[in-house]
């Protein structure tokens, strides 16, 4: 009855409570919820005003009446009492005909994987409050002002467990940019919430009506559910110690018909609104029925930040298959150690290769698969925003994946076996997921008609568990073609039958079809094209193979899945530009020329082989060092000076040359051809632990023939002086990255000057400037790796480097 009313009519919600209570003496910073017990008369008076103004739904004064929030006021022990009192007050104020909605706000902290507390803990907090409100006899439940989809999910699941047929409205809160604090857009919010089985989807708080209007439009276009809206009276402004909401009742009322036209059928107010606002809204909405809406249908899955529609009328979807340890020893070993680095790398690589979603399978024998699945799902979401397919034979692993996933997952998979249906459909329902259903039972039927019968049985079972057919994608079962050639024909026929008879989307695992045959990519491409022609909507497949991608794009043209051939042309344009970008083959021919080029281009992988090859061809080691590599890096230095090359080029070249020189050094030493230009003792000063820039400079100086003694970081004065003396240094090179530690450079410079030590002091580092170097009495300043050699050479010649000219 109430649900019918929510769906069939336009209803008016109440407005803000907090400001009205403050106007009646609620001290700033005091919990309004405690007034349910201490000042019920005041709460009731406010709510009566809203009823008088025309509100048809009253929210109970229980926004913060969950355990963690009440604990801030040491009132957690009174939770049932506070919630029950609030419901009783609202019921008294409501009289007949006005609905009482039990109000639930955020739990007071953030929820994993994004946040602090485990999902189950948040779920328990919401469950306790929802139960108290249901026990007190509310007409409906409202979850509001949720910043994070995962927290909302915990709250909805908790409410679903106790609410029976009591309807549930779920409000997310969106910022001015139309996203929640954790990056969820309205379409994704609607997709996930509809999947979870809420009765009404809404947006409240945070912004005024102008920013909320596009959010309401997006929600209405994304779900068939009724839409509710509660805007603030504009964006608040703090002035003279008070929070002011700039939008008056009349200005705000102008938005009410616009919200109605946008698709909202439950309209109220949030912060800054009063009974006057609600009265105007009620007058404007009187006699209106919900605006007509075009309801989207079909299967959609979502990550926290992105929604993916799958089925006829949408592009073919590639679900990356590479997060799977089957047949991959290194990947399996990493998982067995609990390491997620390869999972994360594979997720990134598939996303970059253009996958639309990612299948996640972490099934390694003798491991704790549920724990691994939870960890993998959390880790993947940190680096990609693609929707995920949670793939396991184990129900516990599926559930752990679902718990750590704020979006709407695709579960992989069920089949028609009663035990599997019984175990997995309740999970799909509870966590609001979609599911891949194999057209098999205890065995795979040979004939398409029998596979269809299994699909029909699965649909009947889905209905019994309350899972909508929009949440099922069938796998028509691709079989190994070398084992049974007629089987593939039956697979294609199953795709056609499911589309025609059931109207459900299909997806299959592609790569297996070619098992055991040569030229597997060719087989995969051919079968994929045929399957797309038969109506296949998605495949779990490799997103890496270029030719497969091209075959898919071309087949999509013939299947009518690429309007205006746009995706195909984009793919070909990108491929063409890659081909053009490939460098012309004007590479050097002699080995010495190749060494020169390898140094200039920072080709660290080739240099050692090239140097060995040159030596084998009879090149003189000294000549290679002095006449090939040194000119190469000097040339690079010139290009750097002309801003044609940049720091990374110098860094890569220095490292490249270092590797080449390492091969030459024993030969040069043996032949007595080593002569050092000068000796430098380098250190990061005391108290400072940054030294990567200094390490790069040290390599560059060594490449240019300096003897470099790198003392590391956080080096005290005494150690620097002792090393300088021991190695008979010409130069002390000092590095610092912090304003607090750079004064240690002055300490060293002062001692060198006061004791008349024979060293030249060269300083550098991110915070060091020519002025500072000049002021502390250093002999030279090096800006970066680009000029450190020049600076050191100048100091050896008795000149200064990089200092300010005397005034």
Partner 1 sequence: MHTVRSLGDRPVVIGSIPFSIEEKRVLRELRIPRLQKVRELPEEGVAKAIKKAIDTAYTLIHGRGCYRTLRLKGPCEDRAVAEESDTLFVGRNMARLLQRCDYATLLAATIGPELEARIESLKEAQTADAYFLDVVGSWMADYMADRVDAIVQSEVQRAGYARTMRYSPGYGDWDLPVQGELLRRLEAAAIGVSCTESFILQPRKSVTAVIGWERRA
Yes or no: say if 415 and 454 are a contact pair by the CB < 8 Å rule. Answer: yes
**Count of residues interacting with partner 1 (CB under 8 A):** 77
In the complex, the smallest distance separating the C-beta of residue 237 from partner 1, rounded to whole angstroms, is 5
- What are the strands of the beta sheet with 760-764, ordered from one edge? 707-710, 679-684, 731-735, 760-764, 780-781
Stretch touching partner 1 by CB under 8 A, among 89-97, 195-203, 467-475, 683-691 = 683-691
Report the alpha-carbon distance of residue 538 to residue 524 in Å, rounded: 14
Stretch touching partner 1 by CB under 8 A, among 81-89, 186-194, 359-367, 601-609 = 601-609
Stretch touching partner 1 by CB under 8 A, among 96-104, 252-260, 294-302, 336-344 = 336-344
Stretch touching partner 1 by CB under 8 A, among 130-138, 237-245, 390-398, 625-633 = 237-245
- By CB under 8 A, is residue 603 in contact with partner 1? yes
- Which residue, 485, 483, 473, 482, is CA-closest to 509? 473
In the complex, the smallest distance separating the C-beta of residue 744 from partner 1, rounded to whole angstroms, is 10
In the range 257-296, which residues lie near partner 1 by CB under 8 A?
A: 271
- By CB under 8 A, is residue 693 in contact with partner 1? yes
- By CB under 8 A, is residue 696 in contact with partner 1? yes
In the complex, the smallest distance separating the C-beta of residue 490 from partner 1, rounded to whole angstroms, is 42
Site string for partner 1, 630-669 (x = CB under 8 A): ----------------xxxx-xx-xxx-x-----------
DSSP of 139-166: SEEEEEEE--HHHHHHHHHHHHHH-TT-
Residue 474 in tokens: 């069938």
Residue 537 in tokens: 């909507």
- By CB under 8 A, is residue 344 in contact with partner 1? yes
Report the alpha-carbon distance of residue 542 to residue 654 in Å, rounded: 38
Q: Let me know the angle formed at the C-alpha of 16 by 13 and 21, rounded to the nearest 5 degrees.
A: 135
In the range 436-455, which residues lie near partner 1 by CB under 8 A?
A: none
In the complex, the smallest distance separating the C-beta of residue 580 from partner 1, rounded to whole angstroms, is 12
In the range 470-509, which residues lie near partner 1 by CB under 8 A?
A: none
Stretch touching partner 1 by CB under 8 A, among 6-14, 512-520, 603-611, 790-798 = 603-611
- By CB under 8 A, is residue 116 in contact with partner 1? yes
In the range 400-439, which residues lie near partner 1 by CB under 8 A?
A: none
Stretch touching partner 1 by CB under 8 A, among 174-182, 312-320, 467-475, 493-501 = 174-182
In the range 734-793, which residues lie near partner 1 by CB under 8 A?
A: 738-741
- By CB under 8 A, is residue 378 in contact with partner 1? yes
Report the alpha-carbon distance of residue 155 to residue 63 in Å, rounded: 13
Q: Let me know the angle formed at the C-alpha of 150 by 146 and 152, rounded to the nearest 5 degrees.
A: 40
Nearer to partner 1, 696 or 792 (CB): 696
User: Phi and psi dihedrals of 759, rounded to 5?
Assistant: -105, 150
Report the alpha-carbon distance of residue 480 to residue 509 in Å, rounded: 11
Helical (H) or strand (E) element with 326: none
In the range 71-110, which residues lie near partner 1 by CB under 8 A?
A: 72, 105-106, 108-110
- By CB under 8 A, is residue 238 in contact with partner 1? yes
DSSP of 666-706: HHHHHTT----S-EEEEEEBTT----HHHHHHHHHHHHTT-
Is the torsion defined by CA of 208, 210, 216, 218 positive or negative? negative
Cis peptide bond prior to 113, omega within 30° of 0: yes
In the complex, the smallest distance separating the C-beta of residue 83 from partner 1, rounded to whole angstroms, is 17
- Which residue, 260, 265, 254, 259, is CA-closest to 228? 265
- By CB under 8 A, is residue 690 in contact with partner 1? yes
Yes or no: say if 62 and 122 are a contact pair by the CB < 8 Å rule. Answer: no
- By CB under 8 A, is residue 18 in contact with partner 1? yes
In order of 162, 327, 690, 743, the CA distances from 767 in angstroms are 61, 51, 12, 11
In the complex, the smallest distance separating the C-beta of residue 686 from partner 1, rounded to whole angstroms, is 8
- By CB under 8 A, is residue 543 in contact with partner 1? no
- By CB under 8 A, is residue 205 in contact with partner 1? yes
Nearer to partner 1, 137 or 712 (CB): 712
- By CB under 8 A, is residue 699 in contact with partner 1? yes
| Exposed / middle / buried, residue 675 (Cβ in 10 Å: 0-12, 13-18, 19+) | exposed
């Amino acid at each position: 009855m109430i649900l019918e009313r929510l769906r069939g009519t336009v209803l008016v919600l109440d407005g803000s409570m907090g400001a009205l209570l403050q106007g009646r003496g609620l001290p700033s910073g005091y919990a309004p919820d405690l007034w349910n017990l201490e000042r019920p008369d005041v709460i009731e008076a406010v709510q009566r005003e809203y009823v008088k103004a025309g509100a048809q739904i009253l929210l109970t004064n229980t926004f913060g009446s969950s355990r963690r929030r009440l604990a801030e006021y040491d009132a957690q022990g009174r939770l049932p009492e506070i919630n029950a009192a609030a419901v009783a007050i609202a019921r008294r104020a409501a009289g007949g005909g006005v609905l009482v909605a039990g109000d639930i706000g955020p739990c007071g902290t953030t929820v994993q994987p994004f946040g602090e507390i485990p999902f189950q803990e948040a779920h328990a907090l919401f469950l306790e409050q929802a139960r108290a409100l249901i026990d007190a006899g509310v007409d409906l439940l409202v979850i509001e002002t949720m910043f994070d989809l995962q927290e909302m999910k915990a709250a909805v699941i908790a409410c679903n467990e106790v609410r029976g047929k009591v309807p549930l409205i779920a409000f997310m809160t969106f910022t001015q940019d139309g996203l929640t604090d954790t990056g969820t857009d309205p379409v994704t919010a609607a997709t996930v919430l509809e999947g979870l089985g809420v009765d009404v989807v809404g947006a409240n708080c945070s912004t005024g009506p102008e920013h909320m209007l596009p959010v309401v439009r997006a929600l209405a276009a994304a779900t068939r559910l009724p839409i509710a809206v509660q805007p603030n009276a504009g964006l608040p402004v703090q002035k003279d110690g008070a929070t002011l909401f700039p939008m008056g009742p009349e200005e705000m009322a102008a938005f009410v018909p616009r919200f109605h036209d946008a698709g909202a059928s439950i309209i109220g107010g949030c912060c800054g609104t009063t009974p006057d606002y609600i009265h105007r809204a009620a007058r404007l909405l009187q006699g209106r029925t919900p605006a007509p809406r075009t309801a989207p249908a079909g299967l959609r899955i979502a990550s926290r930040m992105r929604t993916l529609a799958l089925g006829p009328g949408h592009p073919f979807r590639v679900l990356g298959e590479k997060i799977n340890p089957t047949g991959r020893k290194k990947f399996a070993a990493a998982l067995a150690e609990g390491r997620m680095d390869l999972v994360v790398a594979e997720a990134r690589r598939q996303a970059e290769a253009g996958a639309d979603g990612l299948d996640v399978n972490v099934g390694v024998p003798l491991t704790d698969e549920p724990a691994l699945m939870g960890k993998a799902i959390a880790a993947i979401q940190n680096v990609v925003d693609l929707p995920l397919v949670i793939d396991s034979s184990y129900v516990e692993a599926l559930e752990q994946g679902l718990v750590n996933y704020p979006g709407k997952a695709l579960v992989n998979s069920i089949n028609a076996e009663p035990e599997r249906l019984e175990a997995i459909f309740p999970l799909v329902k509870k966590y609001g997921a979609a599911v891949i259903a194999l057209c098999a039972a205890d065995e795979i039927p040979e004939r398409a008609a029998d596979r269809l019968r299994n699909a029909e049985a699965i649909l009947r079972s889905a209905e019994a568990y309350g899972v909508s057919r929009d949440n099922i994608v069938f796998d028509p079962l691709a079989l190994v073609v070398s084992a049974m050639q007629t089987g593939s024909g039956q697979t294609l026929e199953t795709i056609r039958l499911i589309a025609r008879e059931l109207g459900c989307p299909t997806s299959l695992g592609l790569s297996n079809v070619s098992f055991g045959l040569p030229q597997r990519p060719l087989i995969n491409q051919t079968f994929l094209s045929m399957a797309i022609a038969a109506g296949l909507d998605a495949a779990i497949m490799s997103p890496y193979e270029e030719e497969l991608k091209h075959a898919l794009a071309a087949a999509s043209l013939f299947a009518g899945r690429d309007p205006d051939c746009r995706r195909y042309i984009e793919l070909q344009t990108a491929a063409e530009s890659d081909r053009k970008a490939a460098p012309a083959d004007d590479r050097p021919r002699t080995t010495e020329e190749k060494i020169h080029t390898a140094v200039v281009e920072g080709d660290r992988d080739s240099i050692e082989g090239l140097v060995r090859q040159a030596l084998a061809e009879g090149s003189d080691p000294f000549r290679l060092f002095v006449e090939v590599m040194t000119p190469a890096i000097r040339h690079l230095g010139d290009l750097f000076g002309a801003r044609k090359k940049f720091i990374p080029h110098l860094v890569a070249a220095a490292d490249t040359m270092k590797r080449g020189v390492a091969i030459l050094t024993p030969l040069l030493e043996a032949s007595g051809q080593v002569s050092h230009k000068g000796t430098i003792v380098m250190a990061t000063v005391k108290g400072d632990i940054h030294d990567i820039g200094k390490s790069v400079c040290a390599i560059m100086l060594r490449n240019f023939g300096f003897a470099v003694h790198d003392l590391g970081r956080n080096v005290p004065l005494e150690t620097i002086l002792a090393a300088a003396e021991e190695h008979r240094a010409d130069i002390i090179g000092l590095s610092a990255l912090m304003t607090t530690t750079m004064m240690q450079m002055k300490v060293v410079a002062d001692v060198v000057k006061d004791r008349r030590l024979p060293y030249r002091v060269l300083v550098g580092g991110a915070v060091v400037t020519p002025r500072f170097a000049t002021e502390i009495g250093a002999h030279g300043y090096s800006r970066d790796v680009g000029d450190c050699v020049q600076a050191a050479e100048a100091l050896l010649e008795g000149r200064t480097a990089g200092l300010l000219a005397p005034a």
